[in-house]
């Protein structure tokens, strides 16, 4: 994706068009996210057997990565994780199942796992991850699940 720098004011009377490829559908078991290809776009997680997403290293770019589960996870999990052992996630996830519960991250949280039931991952689950500082991502998630829900956050990256 190219970029343009303007030195003066810019006016658009009809809005800006980002192209027909504004959303990305992933149908692979793994996805390595990059700021250039994925920031500001919605990444559709469309694999019933789950996708493991690896974020780029957090450097404070304010890049936002948005994920929408378009196919419910039925085996394995949809996983969003940091790239290294020093990056962490801070924020909250609301998981709706038999009851709805809000979960906060733990001090060492670096992974969000959606198992298709108690941790979310049903179609319609939505996650925003923003690179806010060196080593820190902010996470906001609204996850659809089933049963007695549990936290989707863990410290799994070594």
Report yes or no on 4 lying in a domain. no
Backbone angles phi, psi at 38, to 5 degrees: -125, -20
In the 3-class helix/strand/coil scheme, how is the chain assigned residue by residue?
A: CCCCCCCCCCCCCCCCCCCCCCEEEECCCEEECCHHHHCCCEEEECCCCCCEEECCCCECCCCEEEEEECCCCCCCCEEEECCCCCCEEEEEEEEECCCEEEEECCCCCCEEEECCECCECCCCCEEEEEEEEECEEEEEEEEECCCCCCCCEECCCC
Q: Which CATH number belongs to the domain containing residue 87 in this structure?
A: 2.60.120.640
The whole domain housing 114 covers: 23-154
Whether 97 contacts 145, CB under 8 Å:
yes
Report yes or no on 62 lying in a domain. yes
Q: Is pLDDT at 19 greater than 50 in this prediction?
A: no
Q: Is pLDDT at 4 greater than 90 in this prediction?
A: no
Q: In this structure, what token pair is assigned to residue 28?
A: 């692979």
Q: What pLDDT, in 10s, does the model give residues 63-98?
A: 999 999 999 999 999 999 999 999 999 999 999 988
Whether 80 contacts 112, CB under 8 Å:
yes
Q: What's the CA gap between 126 and 141, in Å, rounded? A: 6
Report yes or no on 82 lying in a domain. yes
Report yes or no on 17 lying in a domain. no
Read off the pLDDT band of 16 (50, 70, 90).
low
Tell how far CA 82 is from the center of its chain. 10
Report yes or no on 3 lying in a domain. no
Report yes or no on 123 lying in a domain. yes
Q: Give the number of domains in the chain.
A: 1
Report yes or no on 140 lying in a domain. yes
pTM: 0.85
Whether 27 contacts 5, CB under 8 Å:
no
Backbone angles phi, psi at 11, to 5 degrees: -120, 135
Report yes or no on 16 lying in a domain. no
């Amino acid at each position: 994706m190219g970029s343009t720098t303007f030195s003066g004011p810019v006016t658009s009377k009809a809005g800006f068009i980002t192209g027909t490829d504004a959303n990305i559908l992933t149908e692979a078991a793994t996805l390595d996210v990059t700021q250039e290809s994925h920031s500001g776009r919605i990444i559709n997680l469309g694999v019933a057997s789950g996708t493991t997403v690896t974020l780029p290293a957090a450097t404070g770019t304010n890049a936002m990565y948005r994920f929408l589960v378009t196919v419910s996870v039925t085996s394995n999990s949809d996983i969003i994780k940091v790239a290294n052992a020093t990056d962490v996630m801070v924020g909250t996830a609301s998981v709706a199942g038999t009851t709805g519960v809000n979960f906060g991250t733990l001090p060492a949280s670096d992974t969000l796992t959606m198992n298709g039931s108690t941790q979310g991952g049903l179609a319609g689950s939505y996650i925003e991850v923003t690179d806010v500082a060196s080593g820190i991502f902010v996470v906001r998630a609204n996850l659809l699940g089933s049963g007695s829900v549990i936290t989707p956050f863990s410290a799994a990256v070594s």
